[in-house]
Structure 1
Amino acid sequence: MKNMKGLSARIVRSFGLGLLLLGCVEPFEAEVADFQSVLVVEGNISDANEPYVITLSRTAPLDAKGATPERNAIVRVIDGEGASFTLTEFTPGKYLSNPLNFVGCAGKTYFLSVITSSNQRYKSEIVTLKPSPPIDSIYFEREIRLTDAGDSLDGVRIMVDAHDPLGTSVYYKYSWIETYEIRPHYPSFYEWDFSVTPAAFVRRNPEINLCFKTDSSRQVLITSTANLKADRVSEFEVNYVSTVSFRLKSRYSILVRQQTISEKSFRYWSEVKKTSESLGTLFDPQPYQLTGNVHNVDDPEEPVLGYFDASSVAQKRIFIDRKKDLHGLTYPGEPCISQLKTFSPREEGDVFKDEFNLFILWGYLIVDGEGALWAPPECADCRVHGVLERPSFWPDTP
């Protein structure tokens, strides 16, 4: 429910626009006094041996910067046999389970219990942790799309195939985590060391020519096979990756996670998807209608947003290498080509003084020859865009 504030703002703006189109001249303004802070619960447990995160927050007024974390709550997951597992708050409003103490089990039932710092008690409906069939394959194909401005956008669409021979899954929810290499346009292997006298030209340590960046999905990715003859997911697009960023410039990887959810959960996420993708007109469903499966124990009429769910996780990873896999894609012009500075110490005077000043301003010597070539950080230092630490699953890079 991270987009609640933005959705509300679009609804307010669209409502005002509708009045103007009908001939009204007085703009509609939301009454701040009418605002009601509502608890938002986000979280899912699975059978994966990993920490589970439950996020608690409160909706904020339109003029606020974001949702308010619900801090210092007592958060527990309780199974059908009465065993209770407490989650620990590791950042404001985010509560983490300990995989050494608790891992979900397919077929078992669970519910969420929350007691806020003001002693308000909340409880989710009982959910069953459904098993998930494996992912058959993840693959990609080139596709050129048009931007809102009408320009061509080259890239690849990433798709998933899966099937359940028992025909009991039916409702699927997907998410992904992508990781990609960042290689600067102008590698910089040397730097001046001004800690010694005279200053020395030394090899960089660590090197700054290969970094990594990781992002995760933010869209609601759901599909159903309820109206199909077989419980089979085919060519379901989970992501579109364009050539505009670093993602496809070197090596790209995506880990796709598949969950089997209940029909009720599917209906809830369908409404979330429609609301988040709508234009926010007067006739669209209001965000406060998106109540999930959590309620106030002492006040059932209190609106509570979000959904607590349990489902097995099937996952699969693929790598895409530009040199091996991406032939014929078009990439936009490289802005770094026009971002170089040349420098000749014989023309500029004192070598140490001038090179020191240029080093402070730019800092990245690319070529040392008759003159010197310098590039700005965003064109020569991968740390501007990512981190140096190589993921444990990343293959050796030549």
Structure 2
Amino acid sequence: MYPLIAYKKRLTLPLFGMVVLLWVFGCTEPFEGTVEGFEDVLVVDAIITNENKRQEVRLTRSFRFDEEGPQAEENANVTVEDGDGEQFVFNEEEPGIYLSSTPFAAEMGKDYSLSITTEDGRSYLSDTMQLPTASTTIDELYAERTTNDQGEEGMGIFVDTFDSSRQSNYYRYEYEETFKIIAPFWGPNDVVFVIQLSTGPAFEVILREREERVCYGTDREKTIEIASTLNLSEDRLSRFPVRFINRDNYILSHRYSILVRQYVQTQEAFAYYEDLKGLSQSPNSVFTEDQPGFLPGNVFSLDDDSENVAGFFEVTAVTEERIFFSYEDFFPGEDLPPYVRECNIAPASGEDLKGILERENSVLYEFNLGYQMVPRACGDCTALGSNKVPDFWVE
């Protein structure tokens, strides 16, 4: 997640606005506009947890409205230091993705700070952060057929959690969902172009060489889900809604799984995400006259007090739970959701078929009455997901 930055009466949205408005919350129609006043900013995404693992820091640069995505901040020196002076060095495993060279876990009562030196010699430091609680647990993660506040029917994913010591108070949730995809117009054969003859192109029908009927898609969270129990009589969340899926969403069609991660946050981290949620989900849009301003995090430049740095260094306790369910469990005997796209069968032959095969946007469904072609996503599930069964998958 990243803060928003923009300027009054100008459509000047570097990375922060673009990520939240386009990547996180989606944009249904393309917008052609100009970008003014671009600010090149370091973006820090760093969460150190109480899990004993190789911790991760992600570094990118802001990007213009008309660019495809952020550029990785490569070849930086990244370290985390605790209050005892022990340093944990992070190595760049992929462009912009830094993992600690050895596994470690955040410990209660210790201070932690993040230090970054970029390839061009610029230095950055975070505020000191502490683990808010030693551990956290999800009491129950469950799914129910329900109706949301907009009157839409679908599946709700809920969390119950309780901390009798009342040390948690501030919660944030992330999720990753995985779902089975079955191509509705899959056929066992492929058609391939063989040779160009004087009479026209020649084709051959062959057996498919890989699994293309059943695949598995994966999506990650697109919203900021936070909750506080500070003003409640107990440190308890009951039926907290993590996710709602409209029953017409094709990801429910067969079998569905969701992995929910519960973070217990410090008050500072919660306030940051609360402000970010308010900015990114406000009624203001990129077309309004008054745009939200820069949201500072807790990372700052050691070289230039006026330099903006985006993102947040967080130390947090985390736990996770996964559940599975099938469409039939909650909608027995009812029609499946509409497929992700319309699937029309279209006959093709000759040069038309050759062109289709070159574009790779359609596949063979059946050929007993000629070559009957369907859009790739309708007959080849790998257009939408992976044909490898996830290690955690349970039928």
Q: Equivalent of 1:118, from 107, 117, 120?
A: 120
1:102 and 2:103 correspond: yes
1:83 and 2:86 correspond: yes
Taking structure 1 as reference, are residues 142 and 3 closer, same or farther at Cα in structure 2, changes over 3 Å only? farther
Matched residue of 1:205: which SS? coil
Distance 2:205 2:290 in 1: 63
Taking structure 1 as reference, are residues 268 and 2 closer, same or farther at Cα in structure 2, changes over 3 Å only? closer
In structure 2, list runs of 5 or more residues that go unmatched: 13-32, 195-201
Which structure has more helix as a fraction of its residues?
Answer: 1
Matched residue of 2:90: which SS? strand
Taking structure 1 as reference, are residues 80 and 374 closer, same or farther at Cα in structure 2, changes over 3 Å only? same
Q: Which residue of 2 aligns with 1:327?
A: 332
Give how far 1:208 is off: 0.9
Q: Which residue of 1 aligns with 2:235?
A: 231
Q: Which residue of 2 aligns with 1:58?
A: 61
Write out aligned runs for 1:243-254 (5 A): 243-254=247-258
Matched residue of 2:271: which SS? helix
Give how far 1:127 is off: 1.3
Give how far 1:264 is off: 1.2
Q: Is the 8 A contact 1:225 1:231 kept in 2?
A: yes
Write out aligned runs for 1:204-215 (5 A): 204-215=208-219
Give how far 1:312 is off: 1.9
Taking structure 1 as reference, are residues 283 and 377 closer, same or farther at Cα in structure 2, changes over 3 Å only? closer
Give how far 1:328 is off: 7.1
Matched residue of 2:85: which SS? coil
Q: Equivalent of 1:41, from 19, 41, 44?
A: 44
Distance 1:138 1:291 in 2: 33
Give how far 1:279 is off: 2.6
Distance 2:227 2:319 in 1: 15
Give how far 1:263 is off: 0.8
Q: Which residue of 2 aligns with 1:23?
A: none
Distance 1:266 1:363 in 2: 47
Q: Is the 8 A contact 1:122 1:295 kept in 2?
A: yes
The alignment's TM-score, normalised by the length of structure 2, stands at 0.79
1:394 and 2:357 correspond: no
Q: Which residue of 1 aligns with 2:177?
A: 178
Distance 1:297 1:193 in 2: 60
Letter in 2 for 1:287: G
Matched residue of 2:185: which SS? coil
Give how far 1:356 is off: 7.5
Matched residue of 1:160: which SS? strand
Q: Equivalent of 2:315, from 300, 310, 317?
A: 310
The alignment's TM-score, normalised by the length of structure 1, stands at 0.78
Taking structure 1 as reference, are residues 328 and 263 closer, same or farther at Cα in structure 2, changes over 3 Å only? farther
Give how far 1:218 is off: 2.8
1:287 and 2:293 correspond: yes
- After superposition, the C-alpha distances for 1:319-345 in whole angstroms (9 at most, x for unaligned) are 0211233337665555877601358xx
Q: Which residue of 1 aligns with 2:269?
A: 265
Taking structure 1 as reference, are residues 392 and 49 closer, same or farther at Cα in structure 2, changes over 3 Å only? farther
Q: Is the 8 A contact 2:7 2:290 kept in 1?
A: no
Matched residue of 2:268: which SS? helix
Taking structure 1 as reference, are residues 276 and 105 closer, same or farther at Cα in structure 2, changes over 3 Å only? same
Give how far 1:50 is off: 3.9
Range with bigger deviation, 374-383 or 357-366 = 357-366
Q: Which residue of 1 aligns with 2:141?
A: 138
Q: Which residue of 2 aligns with 1:24?
A: none
Distance 1:72 1:89 in 2: 7
Distance 1:62 1:342 in 2: 41
Letter in 2 for 1:175: E
Distance 1:63 1:297 in 2: 31
Taking structure 1 as reference, are residues 104 and 85 closer, same or farther at Cα in structure 2, changes over 3 Å only? same
Taking structure 1 as reference, are residues 44 and 203 closer, same or farther at Cα in structure 2, changes over 3 Å only? same
Q: Which residue of 2 aligns with 1:4?
A: 4
- After superposition, the C-alpha distances for 1:231-262 in whole angstroms (9 at most, x for unaligned) are 00111111112234431011110000011111
Matched residue of 2:145: which SS? strand
RMSD, matched Cα = 3.6
Letter in 1 for 2:156: R
Letter in 1 for 2:313: F
Taking structure 1 as reference, are residues 60 and 191 closer, same or farther at Cα in structure 2, changes over 3 Å only? closer
Matched residue of 2:250: which SS? coil
Matched residue of 2:261: which SS? strand
Give how far 1:275 is off: 0.6
Q: Equivalent of 1:128, from 120, 127, 130?
A: 130
